[in-house]
Structures are given as C-alpha cells and as structure tokens.
C-alpha cells in the first residue's frame, strides 16, 4: 500500500501546486486588472476614506473633508458650492472628479511625490495621512462681485492679474452644486449627475475655460494689434470706414451695428474705428492685413494652445489661413465666422495688453501646504511670450481707454479710475440674440486686473443687448471689487 | 515479555517532544501576533480580552501538548503546531472581521469560533486519551458506514435540514447548526478503511479485464455503487458539489490506495464526471453555478439578483488588493466579501497577508497532509494506513475544493477551510481528524519490540491467542484469499485480537496480524505484483 500512498502524496502535491499557481495568478498577474475594475470599490474607498486637504480662498476653505459617520469616514463639503464650482469641480463617488479636485488630487489626497517626508513621518508615528491644502489665487470679493453682477444671466466672468497671470475670479452660469454630486448617497448623486448631464444649458461645463464663443468685436483688439505690429499702422492711421462693406468676391454687404455710418467721410483713424467698434473698417483692415497676419497675431495671444490652470482650458481657435477665403477673412477680422474663444482667452488678450504686451500664463493655484502648514509647492508666474511690443500694447491701451471714455464701453467707467476696455456683440445665428462681450483692464496706467465678461444671448436684454450695455457693467463691478479689496 | 521490555527501554526513552514545544511557540506567536495587530491596526489598542484569549490559545496548545506527552509520546511533532498556527491565523481574521463588521448570515464571532475550537480540542484529545489504539475503530466499520450515510442524509430531512446559499448541507437543532458532512467525512474514512482492508484482494484481483483495465466483479461493486449514488444524491439533492466531490474523491483515493488499481480512478472519475455533467444539464441552478464559475465578470452574471457572481468577484478583488505582501492586518477591506469569515476566509486573508501569507497557509496545509500521509506510510497495519491516508487525503481534498473554488479552479462549493473558517462543525470534526492522525502517527513511530519480520520467524515466543486468530506468522505469505473472510464473520474474532495490544503494551507481534493484514510492506506487493 505504500506505493499507492506515495502516489496519493504526489497527487496531493499536484493539487496544492495548482492552488499556489491559481493564487499567484490572481494576486500577482491579474492584480492590476482586478484593482482597476470599475466594480472594485477599493480604489474609491482608498481615495474617499482619507482626510482630504481643503481648497482655500482668502483663508477660507471652500472645499473641505469633514468626518462622517458612514463607511467612508469623510464627507467632502463645499462651503459655497455654486459660486466656486468652475474652480473646485466635484469629488464624487459616482461621477469621479473634476476641476481642482482632479488637477490637484495628488496633493489633496496626500499622495504626491513631494509629500514623501510627511508620509514617512505618518508611517513612523502611526498617524493617518492627511491631505495638503491647496490655496487659490482667487480674490473672494471679485468672485462674489462677478457672481452677483452676472445675476440670473447665462455667461461667464474671468478676471486675471495682468502682471502675474493669477486668476482673480472665475464664474460660470448656470452652474451646479458640487455637494449634490459629492453625497455618499450614490442614488442621489447619480440622479443629480444625470440631471445635470442632460440639462440643455450644460451646467457641468465651466464656460470660463471650456466653452467656445464667437468673440465678436473683442477680436478687433487682435486685428488692431496685427496692424500696428505690422509697422504700417498706428492708432492715428486713417483707414477706410465705409457705411457698408461688400465682402470680397461676394455680393454680400457687411453693415455696421444698426446699419449706421462709422464716419461721414467714409474713413477714420484706427483709434476712432476701435472706439465705436466699426465693423466695416476692421473687416477691410483684416483683408488688407491678410489671413496669416491675423492668425499669427492670434497665436501670439495664446490661440491654438490649451492651458492648464492647472485644470485644463480648451484652446481658442482662429481658422486655418490657408483655406480662409477673403470674405470669411473679413468676417474673421471682426470676430465672426469660425473664430472661437473662451472667456479665459479674451481675458488673456486684455491682460497681455495691460502687461506691456507680455502674456503671463494664467494660474489658479497659489500655494500648496501640508498638514503642518509648510509650503510644499508654490506656483511661479511664467511668461507665455510677448504677444505684442510694448509700444503696440501702449497704443492698444490708449485706444481701449477711449472706448470706455467716449465709445461703446462707457458703462464700464469708474470715477477716479481710468478703465480700458473693448465691447463685443457676437452674432451666432439670426434666430437668437447675440452674445454680449466686454473685456478690459484697470487702472489703465497701472493695471491691477484684466477681465473678460460674456453674457449669452444678450442676457436679460435679449436682442437689444450689446456688450456695452450688458457686459460692461459686470466688468465694472469686478474691477471695482478688485481695486477696492 | 518482561525481559524484552527491559532490554528495549533504555534505548527508546519517551521523546520529550521538544521540537513540538519550539514549533508551538512559533505558531502561538503567529496567532497572538495576529490578535494584537488586528486590534492595534483598527482601534489603535490591543483588542478587548486580548490577554484572556491569547492565554486561552496558549493554554489549549499546552494542554494538548501535555496530553500528547502522556498518551501519544511518539506522535508526529509537527501536526499540532501547524494546526495551532492555522487556528490562530483564522481566529485573528474572524476577530478582525468582528471588529470591523462583515456581511453574512450571522456576524463574525471570534468568541464562538474559539469556543468551538476549544470544544473540538477537548473532544479530540479526550478521544486521543481514550483511544489507545486506532485499530479499535475497525470494530465499528459498518457502524461507521451507517453513521456516515445517516449524517449525509440528515440535511435532506424536512424540518431538520435547511438550505443556505443554495446548498442544503446544514442541519438545525434548536439554535445550533451542524454541517453533518464534516462528521460524515470521518465516519466514511473509518468505514472505507475497514471495508477495503478486508476486501481489497477481491476487489483488486477478481474480475474481467477490459481494454487493459482490470475491472472489478459486479458483486464487489455494491458498496462502490452505493457510495456513488449517495455522492450524486448529495450533488443533486443538496446541491453541493464540494461535499459530493469530497466523499467520492475520498472513496476513490482510498480504493486506489488499497488495491493499487488505477482502473478504479478512471472508473470513479468517469462515473463522477458523467453524473456531474448530467446534473449540470438537468438542473438549471447547477448550470447557473457553472456560468458564474466560468464567466464571473460578465455583467449578466454579476448583476443578477440570485446566484450572482458577486461573491466570487469580490473575493478576487480582495485578493488582488492584497498583492504580494498584503495590506497588513486590519488595513484592507475584506469585510466587503460576503461570508469573509467562513467560506471566503482564504480571500480575506489574501487581502491582508498577501500572496506571501497565503503561500504560508497553503504550505502549512500541505505539511499537515503530508505528515498524515507519512503516518500512513510508516504505520504497520493496513487499517491504519488506509485510515491515515484517507483522512489526510480528505483534508487535502477539502482544502483543494475550498481554495480551488475561491481561485476559480473549480466551481464554488459550500465547504469551509479546516481550522480557519468560522463554523463549529468544521472545527470540531477537523480536530477529531487531527487526533486520529496523531494517534496513528504515534503507533507508527512507537518503537516495536519486534520490528523485523525475520525475528518473528526466527522463533520469538508467540503470544497465546495468536495461532487461533490468523494462524502462524508464517502464513502471511500464503494463499491470497484465505486471510480475507467476510467482514461479518470476522467481527467476533477481531474483538479478541483487539484486546491484545492493550494487554501486551509494547509488544506488537499480535497487532501485526489483526484481521487480514500481514506485514503491510510485503503483502500487497506479492499480490499486486508491484514493488514499493
């Protein structure tokens, strides 16, 4: 019987070997695949079970993790959810993460490489890991002012500090309450998410950085910049400003706003054309300059390049000059046709002009501090290059001051402060009212803030809206908030 | 007799079992360390009753060790420490799941689990104390058969049995639940050992040869057919592949061990395979289990309300999270697996102890099984060989079925991991298995006055009853069939013989010849024509 017993022993060996192989297969070879299975809640628990660091604006936490009695240990809460939603984004079991919550996740969760010292300390002391706090560049007063001034209208406001690129305000409406998505009640979170996702006004999308608008007349700043940079023009150069301009190669007449004449003589200075936002003058100027000049100038202001602030903002676009017909070029020169911008991009144009032509990279995260409040990371301002020369910038600034002093943007005037600006009224289709734009900066001699405001479809004024009437007062409110703060 | 004893005594002192003490200390360190880590990691302090429970574990191991010293001093010194280690690790995990909360029919309950282990140890070592010789069990061959079959059938009796998780393998008496299959396992091993040691020659030699396979005679097939039917009945009526596989595998393995006819394995596997496939075709719930086994990640199986692959998949997630080294005690999320403390304790341990820890656990079981098989190899009587071999193989098969189910080698079944999983029946029954293994290994290693057959032939004084019983030692190599009377007629004579070892102490000459078994190293080889 011993022979057979030994054979049974061999069979047992084979059986146990199979167990070791299958166990190894699961724990070693299949582990990554199993760990990343969406049905495996462990990654979520590991992430959501930590004391995540707060997101801070002006010393106040706008997003924080508070201990909860449920299985997740911590609940993410947003103090003023809707106000800061385009910045914070959401942190949800159901829909994942977005905004700062996603872009700065490594620091907030405490898992960033830069935090290794703290992690080693936690390991030795046995204390639970704590996320770092992320402090934003946002000016709470400006953010609030932008929010209030935009009111119930759909649109967006972006404010930048021209000399650094710090984002001072970023508002998008309609928006969402990130608390609705952060709830641990997954059914409620899922319902809220689906409702937001299917809303025709796309409240989940931050209009400031991720929605494309036609820039309308605000693009005239770039057309003028291209003209002056080319060397053949300055602010006093007299250019053609006909009552109507027949688009080259077509019989279509391009009128001015309201069909009025820009000047009795049919020509005016570049500064005057800017001041009253003369369509015919800039359309013809654009055609005279050529598609390449406009496209290059747009690119120098940041078109065609997405930026991470640190969450991503989509690139604004100017049509491909190779395939741009003269009539479409004329339309593009006044910010119509296929020119598409984000409010952030428009603010960057004003900021570059305010900063002597140098475009600073916009950013929203100031410092990251660990649980002991030691600075772990600090954003350094960085230049994206010179968009225009200093003299060009200065001429553009002069023209923008005139726009606010006596042109289309008078509603942005602030007593005691020189405001520079440019209005825009961007047609999309004939059926819907135009988008109202305003962009500018102040004080003109020592710029502290550059803003861009877009109000969709005329906002509360509907088809009567112009950038000057609807958007400029909002910009004024934001500028005042920054300057008084 | 006395002169012989005195001549032998000085050379063969009772072992001090120092190796066992040393290994027990290591094993207890593993268990108590687990207890401590569980509390420290989850609550930041030693868990409630840490000292009491650690002391209880240590005291239990110490008492078991002392019983072994007194009553089975030659028993294998590795078996007890391995079992203590596995128990300690299992209790740590159950404790951990009790602290954190868990999903199951009842909560994880480490106190209950420890009580069951304690009762198991008391019963097992009481048995070891009383049962001075494992051959006594042979008297109860057919009693064991009846007990085993009744135990198997119990869960099918309405009002007594209850279906849990689709498998009807439980019996409820008042507040107590039992898994009779665990006990049936032992009873059937005793029955098979007794039956086969008597009938192995007829089974092996008589019968037609078809396609190169030596098939048994039809009339010898009776008990085999009976076991086959019972196994398939278990499969179909109790809906538990694991228990069915355990019984059938146990029988086929012991049959092969006894007869060395590989035809039995082929026949057995064919029969079982045919039965299982037919069952899978005929019963939809069975097909559902196969689907869940083969395609656990398919949404249609994962998301369905009844019989979903949720548990399998959660177990895999848990193990994957453990990776190579595990999350550490209390740091993982094993409580997400339904029944993490019983059916799925292997996956739960995989999460917190990692591949490293599971390898230690699997190798510990392997060590335990191989020690049992070693006892089978070295024990002198055929009954002991078959019983030790059968019990060890059943243990191996149970571990294989449980872990194989969790790691998807075979479909998931309702069996639990011996010594680790929460569940009184399993703990109780497996401690009894350990006691039997220890008893057999003791008699295997106990020095014999007459270790060499030649000495007997050379004319050592044979004790009085022996010639009456099986004839002179010289008849061992005699005709094949004369030593194998039917078990029924054998009973009274064996009873006389069984008294012999008790009376004669160290003298094993009479015990060598109990029943039909000659010196085992020689006899089967003569008959089966193979060499060991």
- From chain B residues 406-445, the ones with a CB under 8 A of any chain A CB are 407-409
Residue A201 tokens, joined: 């006004």
- From chain B residues 236-265, the ones with a CB under 8 A of any chain A CB are 253, 256-260
> Among all residues of chain A, which has the CA nearest to that of B101?
A71
User: Which positions in chain B touch A25 (Cβ < 8 Å)?
Assistant: 407
CB A312 within 8 A of CB A100: no
A224-229: average pLDDT = 90
Residue B350 tokens, joined: 């995989």
- From chain A residues 105-164, the ones with a CB under 8 A of any chain B CB are 126
A406-435: average pLDDT = 83
Domain of B242 in residue numbering reads as 9-445
CB A151 within 8 A of CB A450: no
> Greatest CA span in chain A, whole angstroms?
121
- pLDDT one-digit tens code per residue, A321-330: 888 888 888 8
pLDDT (tens digit, 0 to 9) for every residue of chain B, 532 residues total? 444 444 444 456 778 889 999 999 999 999 999 999 998 888 888 888 999 999 999 999 999 999 999 999 999 999 999 999 999 999 999 999 998 877 776 788 888 899 999 999 999 999 999 998 889 999 998 899 889 888 888 887 777 777 766 667 777 766 677 888 889 899 999 998 998 888 887 777 766 676 666 666 666 667 767 777 777 777 677 777 788 888 888 888 998 898 887 877 787 788 788 877 887 787 777 788 888 899 998 888 887 877 788 889 999 999 999 988 888 898 888 988 888 898 899 999 999 999 999 999 999 999 999 999 999 999 989 999 999 999 999 999 999 999 999 999 998 887 889 999 988 888 999 999 999 999 999 998 888 765 444 444 444 444 444 443 333 343 333 333 333 444 433 434 443 334 334 333 333 333 333 334 434 444 443 333 333 3
A281-303: average pLDDT = 89
Comparing C-alpha atoms, which of B170, B145, B241 is closest to residue B424? Answer: B170
CB B311 within 8 A of CB B342: no
Residue A224 domain flag: yes
Residue A20 to residue B472: CA distance in whole angstroms: 50
Residue B321 domain flag: yes
Domain of A319 in residue numbering reads as 210-364+383-484
Residue A476 domain flag: yes
Residue B171 domain flag: yes
Model pLDDT, residue A433: 80
**Element (DSSP H or E) covering residue A239:** strand A238-240
Model pLDDT, residue A464: 67
Angle, nearest 10°, between helix axes B487-504 and B180-205? 110
B320 to A41: CB separation less than 8 angstroms, yes or no: no
Model pLDDT, residue A257: 72
Model pLDDT, residue A320: 87
Contacts of B423 (CB under 8 A, 6+ apart): B116, B179, B342, B416
CB A450 within 8 A of CB A481: no
- pLDDT one-digit tens code per residue, A19-48: 999 999 999 999 988 888 878 878 777 777
Model pLDDT, residue B493: 41
In a shared domain, residues B187 and B311: yes
Buried b (16+ CB within 10 A) or exposed e, B418-453: bbbbbbbbbbbbbbbbbbbbbbbbbbbbbebbbeeb
ipTM for the complex?
Answer: 0.81
**CA of B525 to nearest chain A CA: how many angstroms apart?**
8
CB A303 within 8 A of CB A345: yes
**What's the number of domains chain B is made of?**
2
Neighbours of A172 (CB within 10 A): 30
A483-to-A411, A414, A419, A450, A477 alpha-carbon distances in Å: 17, 11, 11, 11, 10
Model pLDDT, residue A122: 66
In a shared domain, residues B156 and B263: yes
**CA of A4 to nearest chain B CA: how many angstroms apart?**
5
CATH label of the domain that carries residue A458: 3.40.710.10
In a shared domain, residues B158 and B21: yes
Q: Which of B392, B419, B445 is the last residue of a domain?
A: B445
Residue B407 tokens, joined: 């790691």
Residue B365 to residue B430: CA distance in whole angstroms: 12
Contacts of A101 (CB under 8 A, 6+ apart): A55, A63, A88, A89, A90, A91, A108
CB A363 within 8 A of CB A310: yes
CB B116 within 8 A of CB B177: no
Q: Does A14 touch chain B (CB under 8 A)?
A: no
In a shared domain, residues B153 and B232: yes
Place of tokens 């809220």: A192
> Greatest CA span in chain B, whole angstroms?
77
Main-chain dihedrals φ then ψ at residue A360, nearest 5 degrees? -95, 140
Main-chain dihedrals φ then ψ at residue A435, nearest 5 degrees? -80, 140
Model pLDDT, residue B7: 45
Q: Does B39 touch chain A (CB under 8 A)?
A: no
Residue A215 domain flag: yes
Average pLDDT, rounded, for chain A: 86
**CA of A323 to nearest chain B CA: how many angstroms apart?**
49
In 3-state terms, what secondary structure has residue B493? helix
Residue A145 to residue A150: CA distance in whole angstroms: 8
Residue A254 domain flag: yes
High-pLDDT (> 70) share of chain B, % = 75
Residue A265 to residue A299: CA distance in whole angstroms: 34
Residue B19 tokens, joined: 């190796």
A23 to B313: CB separation less than 8 angstroms, yes or no: no
Instruction: Give ∠ CA B252-B253-B255 in degrees, rounded to 5.
Output: 65
Residue B346 to residue B417: CA distance in whole angstroms: 8
* DSSP letters spanning B423-449: -HHHHHHHHHHHHHHHHHHHHHHSPPS
Q: Which of B428, B445, B462 is the last residue of a domain?
A: B445
B271-to-B147, B199, B248 alpha-carbon distances in Å: 24, 21, 10
- For residue A346, pLDDT over 90 is answered with yes
Residue A187 to residue A137: CA distance in whole angstroms: 35
In 3-state terms, what secondary structure has residue A206? coil
Residue A424 to residue A440: CA distance in whole angstroms: 11
In a shared domain, residues B507 and B417: no
In a shared domain, residues B466 and B409: no
Residue A74 to residue A160: CA distance in whole angstroms: 34
**What's the number of domains chain A is made of?**
1
Comparing C-alpha atoms, which of A348, A296, A353, A345 is closest to residue A316? Answer: A345
Q: Does A10 touch chain B (CB under 8 A)?
A: no
In a shared domain, residues B205 and B315: yes
B402-to-A115, B397, B409, B488 alpha-carbon distances in Å: 43, 9, 10, 37
- From chain A residues 40-99, the ones with a CB under 8 A of any chain B CB are 40-42, 45
- pLDDT one-digit tens code per residue, B92-109: 999 999 988 777 767 888
In a shared domain, residues B473 and B378: no
Q: Does A415 touch chain B (CB under 8 A)?
A: no
Comparing C-alpha atoms, which of A241, A299, A289 is closest to residue A265? Answer: A241
CB B90 within 8 A of CB B117: no
Q: Which of B396, B416, B445 is the last residue of a domain?
A: B445
Q: Which of A3, A8, A26 sits opposite B316 (nearest CB)?
A: A26
CB A201 within 8 A of CB A173: no
**CA of B444 to nearest chain A CA: how many angstroms apart?**
13
In a shared domain, residues B468 and B379: no
In a shared domain, residues B143 and B290: yes
Q: Which of B322, B350, B389 sits opposite A8 (nearest CB)?
A: B389
A44-to-A40, B96, B426 alpha-carbon distances in Å: 8, 22, 36
Model pLDDT, residue B487: 40
Residue B3 domain flag: no
- pLDDT one-digit tens code per residue, B208-248: 676 666 666 666 667 767 777 777 777 677 777 788 888 88
Residue A249 domain flag: yes
In a shared domain, residues B377 and B516: no
User: Which positions in chain B touch A32 (Cβ < 8 Å)?
Assistant: 320
CB B240 within 8 A of CB B168: yes
Active site residues of A: 217
Residue B322 domain flag: yes
A260-to-A217, A241, A244, A416 alpha-carbon distances in Å: 16, 11, 9, 33
In a shared domain, residues B292 and B431: yes
């Amino acid at each position: 019987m011993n022979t057979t017993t030994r054979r049974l022993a061999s069979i047992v060996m084979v059986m146990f070997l199979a167990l070791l192989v299958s166990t190894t297969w699961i724990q070693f070879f299949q582990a990554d695949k199993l760990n990343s299975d969406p049905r495996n809640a462990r990654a979520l628990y590991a992430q959501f079970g930590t004391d995540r660091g707060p997101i801070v604006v002006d010393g106040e936490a706008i997003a924080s993790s508070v201990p909860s009695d449920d299985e997740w240990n911590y609940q993410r809460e947003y103090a003023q959810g809707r106000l800061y939603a385009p910045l914070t984004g959401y942190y949800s079991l159901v829909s994942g993460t977005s905004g700062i919550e996603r872009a700065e996740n490594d620091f907030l969760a405490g898992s960033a490489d830069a935090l290794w010292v703290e992690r080693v300390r936690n390991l030795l002391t046995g204390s639970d890991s704590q996320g770092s706090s992320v402090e934003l560049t946002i000016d709470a007063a400006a953010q609030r002012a932008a929010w209030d001034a935009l009111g119930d209208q759909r649109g967006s406001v972006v404010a930048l500090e021209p000399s650094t690129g710090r984002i001072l305000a970023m508002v998008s409406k309609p928006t969402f309450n990130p608390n609705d998505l952060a709830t641990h009640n997954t059914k409620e979170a899922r319902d809220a998410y689906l409702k937001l996702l299917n809303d025709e006004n796309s409240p989940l999308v931050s209009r400031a950085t991720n929605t494309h608008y036609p820039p309308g007349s605000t693009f005239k700043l770039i057309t003028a910049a291209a003209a002056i940079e080319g060397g053949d023009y300055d602010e006093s150069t007299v250019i053609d400003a006909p009552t109507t301009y027949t688009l080259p190669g077509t019989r279509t007449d391009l009128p001015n706003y309201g069909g009025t004449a820009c000047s009795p003589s049919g020509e005016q200075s570049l500064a005057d054309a800017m001041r009253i936002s003369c369509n015919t003058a800039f359309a013809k100027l654009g055609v005279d300059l050529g598609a390449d000049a406009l496209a290059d100038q747009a690119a120098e202001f940041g078109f065609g390049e997405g930026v991470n602030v640190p969450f991503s903002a989509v690139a604004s676009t100017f049509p491909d000059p190779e395939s741009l017909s003269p009539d479409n070029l004329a339309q593009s020169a006044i910010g119509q046709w296929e020119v598409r911008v984000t409010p952030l991009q428009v603010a960057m144009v004003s900021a570059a002009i305010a900063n002597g032509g140098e475009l600073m990279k916009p950013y929203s995260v100031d410092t990251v501090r660990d649980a002991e409040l030691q600075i772990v990371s600090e954003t350094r301002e960085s230049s994206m290059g010179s968009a225009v020369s200093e003299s060009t910038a200065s001429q553009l600034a002069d023209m923008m001051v005139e726009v606010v002093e006596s042109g289309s943007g008078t509603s942005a005037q602030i007593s005691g402060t020189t405001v520079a600006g440019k209005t825009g009224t961007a047609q999309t289709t004939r059926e819907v009212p135009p988008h109202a734009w305003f962009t500018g900066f102040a004080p003109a001699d020592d710029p502290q803030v550059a803003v861009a405001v877009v109000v969709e479809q005329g906002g509360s004024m509907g088809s009567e809206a112009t950038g000057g009437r609807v958007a400029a007062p909002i910009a004024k409110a934001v500028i005042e908030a920054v300057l008084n703060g | 007799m006395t002169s012989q004893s005195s001549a032998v005594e000085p050379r063969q002192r009772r072992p001090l079992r120092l190796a066992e003490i040393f290994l027990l200390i290591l094993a207890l360190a593993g268990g108590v360390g687990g207890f401590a880590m569980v509390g420290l990691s989850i609550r930041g302090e030693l868990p409630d009753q840490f000292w009491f429970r650690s002391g209880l574990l240590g005291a239990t191991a110490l008492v078991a060790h002392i019983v072994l010293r007194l009553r089975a001093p030659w028993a294998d010194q590795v078996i007890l420490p391995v079992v203590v280690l596995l128990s300690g690790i299992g209790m740590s995990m159950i404790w951990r799941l009790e602290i954190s909360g868990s999903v199951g029919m009842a909560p994880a309950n480490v106190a209950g689990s420890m009580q069951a282990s304690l009762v198991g140890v008391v019963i097992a070592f009481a048995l070891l104390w009383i049962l001075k010789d494992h051959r006594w069990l042979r008297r109860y061959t057919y009693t064991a058969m009846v007990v085993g079959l009744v135990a198997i059938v119990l869960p099918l009796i309405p009002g007594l049995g209850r279906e849990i998780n689709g498998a009807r393998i439980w019996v409820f008496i008042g507040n107590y639940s039992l898994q009779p299959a665990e006990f049936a396992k032992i009873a059937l091993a005793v029955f098979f050992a007794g039956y086969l040691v008597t009938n192995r020659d007829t089974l092996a030699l008589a019968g037609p040869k078809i396609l190169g396979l030596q098939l048994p005679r039809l009339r010898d097939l009776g008990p085999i057919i009976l076991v086959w039917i019972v196994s398939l009945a278990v499969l179909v009526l109790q809906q538990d592949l694991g228990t069915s596989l355990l019984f059938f595998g146990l029988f086929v393995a012991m049959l092969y061990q006894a007869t060395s006819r590989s035809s039995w394995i082929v026949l057995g596997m064919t029969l079982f395979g045919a039965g299982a496939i037919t069952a899978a075709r005929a019963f939809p719930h069975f097909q559902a289990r196969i689907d869940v086994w083969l395609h656990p990640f398919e949404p249609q199986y994962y998301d369905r309300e009844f019989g979903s692959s949720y548990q399998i998949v959660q177990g895999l997630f848990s193990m994957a999270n453990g990776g190579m080294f595990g999350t550490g005690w209390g740091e993982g999320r094993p409580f997400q697996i339904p029944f993490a403390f019983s059916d799925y304790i292997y996956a739960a341990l995989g999460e917190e102890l990692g591949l490293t820890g599971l390898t230690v656990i699997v190798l510990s079981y392997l060590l335990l099984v191989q020690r049992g098989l070693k006892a089978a190899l070295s024990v002198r009587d055929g009954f002991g060989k078959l019983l030790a071999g059968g019990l060890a193989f059943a243990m191996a098969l149970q571990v294989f079925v449980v872990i194989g189910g969790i790691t998807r080698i075979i479909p998931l079944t309702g069996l639990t991991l011996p010594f680790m999983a929460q569940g009184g029946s399993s703990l109780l029954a497996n401690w009894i298995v350990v006691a039997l293994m220890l008893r057999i290994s003791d008699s295997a290693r106990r020095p014999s006055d007459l270790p060499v057959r030649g000495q007997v032939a050379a004319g050592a004084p044979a004790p009085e009853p022996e010639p009456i019983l099986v004839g002179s030692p010289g008849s061992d190599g005699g005709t094949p069939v004369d030593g194998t009377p039917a078990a029924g007629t054998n009973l009274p004579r064996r009873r006389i013989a069984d008294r012999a070892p008790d009376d004669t102490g160290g003298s094993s000459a009479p015990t060598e010849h109990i029943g039909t078994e000659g010196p085992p190293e020689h006899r089967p080889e003569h008959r089966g024509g193979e060499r060991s």
